[in-house]
């Protein structure tokens, strides 16, 4: 395995701009709909194992969620299977705090679903 496990939102943005990495958003559907990183693919955490074989093994995988906790678990799972996977430290919350764009343009970082534990 190469590369560090955690990368900053700025480092992730550079990988996105260069097209060097593939981005996976592992949040739930309502979170994705509220706002996400342009160019990312939506794969709920529970579906990651099923879609892993569809990823390009030659390119790093950058994962994110709202805070970086769920995507950290996904990153470790992929790394254990031999992927060059990296987690965005602080997730989409940190991404937007650095002024990095999400789509739709009027999008927002969704919090936990009301009534969720």
Active site residues: 65
pLDDT single digits (tens) 1-48: 356 799 999 999 999 999 999 999 999 999 999 999 999 999 999 999
Domain encompassing residue 33: 6-97
Evaluate whether residue 102 is within a structural domain: no
Q: Is residue 86 part of a domain?
A: yes
Does residue 113 have a pLDDT over 60?
yes
Q: How many CA atoms lie within 13 A of 99 on its CB side?
A: 0
| Total domain count, the chain | 1
Indicate whether 117 pLDDT > 80. Answer: no
Q: Is residue 22 part of a domain?
A: yes
> Is 113 a member of any domain?
no
pLDDT tens per residue, range 45-80: 999 988 888 999 899 999 999 999 999 999 999 999
**Helix segments in 3-98, DSSP class H:** 9-18, 29-34, 48-51, 69-80, 91-97
Tokens representing 26 are 């592992």
The answer as to whether 18 is a domain residue is: yes
CATH of the domain at 92: 3.40.250.10
Note the pTM of the prediction, 2 decimals: 0.91
Cβ contacts of residue 55 below 8 Å, gap of 6+?
A: 22, 61, 83
Task: Say if 81 falls within a structural domain.
Answer: yes
C-alpha distance from residue 88 to each of 41, 57, 61, 67, 114 (Å):
15, 19, 11, 9, 25
């Amino acid at each position: 395995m190469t590369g560090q496990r955690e990368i900053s939102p700025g480092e992730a943005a550079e990988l996105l701009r260069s097209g060097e990495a593939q981005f996976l958003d592992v949040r739930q559907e309502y979170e994705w709909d509220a706002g996400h990183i342009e160019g990312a693919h939506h794969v709920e955490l529970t579906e990651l194992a099923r879609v892993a074989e569809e990823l390009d093994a030659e390119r790093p995988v950058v994962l994110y969620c709202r805070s970086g906790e769920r995507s950290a678990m996904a990153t470790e799972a992929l790394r254990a299977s031999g992927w060059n996977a990296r987690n965005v430290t602080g997730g989409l919350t940190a991404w937007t705090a650095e002024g990095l764009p999400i789509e739709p343009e009027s999008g927002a970082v969704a919090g936990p679903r009301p009534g969720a534990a």
